[in-house]
């Protein structure tokens, strides 16, 4: 006998949309640094910033959010959706002593927006990630397919059903 299917709700879709919205400032900063590199301060050696540096700095934040949002939108791989929402927050906390991954500070130095607006954007990005993670946890029964890479590699075959002996 198979397990009953859970009713499909709006929660995973909203979690995916929130993750996409959370990733937009990171994409903006990465593309802006790539196409319009800034000059380094004289104290740091002067000259132009190497163009791919923006992509290298922001990819650890962009990639989990994009993969998690795709996973949430198609309701597959619950673990990937959850990790995609939480991993950028972990990276932010781990890199906080160097203050290089504050998206609010990056936006402040790259745009003409006031610091308060940039901090509000940063806070909303973090709130979107936390809310997306909460929605993914709340709707975990709606996700189908493999829940982890270990289950995919070492779990039973896809069509296998346990016999009731």
Higher pLDDT, 121 or 159: 121
Structure token pair of residue 163: 């016999």
**pLDDT confidence tier of residue 141, bands split at 50, 70 and 90:** confident
On whether the CB atoms of residues 125 and 22 are closer than 8 A, the answer is yes
The dihedrals phi and psi of 50, each to the nearest 5 degrees, come to -65, 125
* pTM for this predicted structure: 0.76
**pLDDT confidence tier of residue 143, bands split at 50, 70 and 90:** confident
CA–CA dist 164, 99 (Å, integer): 57
For 108-140, how does the pLDDT look when each residue is reduced to its tens digit (9 = 90+)? 777 788 888 888 998 999 999 999 999 999 998
**pLDDT confidence tier of residue 63, bands split at 50, 70 and 90:** very high
For 90-109, how does the pLDDT look when each residue is reduced to its tens digit (9 = 90+)? 988 888 777 656 787 777 77
pLDDT at 12 over 50: yes
Express as a percent the part of the chain with pLDDT over 90: 30
- Exposure of 164 by Cβ count < 10 A (0-12 exposed, 13-18 middle, 19+ buried)? exposed
- Average pLDDT across the chain, whole number: 81
pLDDT at 55 over 90: no
**pLDDT confidence tier of residue 65, bands split at 50, 70 and 90:** very high
pLDDT at 1 over 50: no
Structure token pair of residue 35: 């196409």
Q: Of 46-55, 65-74, 84-93, which gets the smallest average pLDDT?
A: 46-55
């Amino acid at each position: 006998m198979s397990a009953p299917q859970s009713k499909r709700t709006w929660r995973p879709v909203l979690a995916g949309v929130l993750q996409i919205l959370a990733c937009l400032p990171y994409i903006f900063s990465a593309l802006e640094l790539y196409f319009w590199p800034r000059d380094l301060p004289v104290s740091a050696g002067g000259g132009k910033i190497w163009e791919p540096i923006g992509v290298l700095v922001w990819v650890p934040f962009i990639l989990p959010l994009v993969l998690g949002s795709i996973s949430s939108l198609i309701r597959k791989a619950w673990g990937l959706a959850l990790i995609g929402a939480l991993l950028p927050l972990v990276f932010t906390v781990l890199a906080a002593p160097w203050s290089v991954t504050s998206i609010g500070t990056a936006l402040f130095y790259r745009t003409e927006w006031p610091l308060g607006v940039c901090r509000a954007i940063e806070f909303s990005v973090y709130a979107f990630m936390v809310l997306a993670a909460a929605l993914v946890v709340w709707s975990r029964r709606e996700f189908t397919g493999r829940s982890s890479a270990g289950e995919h590699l070492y779990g039973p075959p896809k069509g296998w059903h346990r016999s009731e002996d």
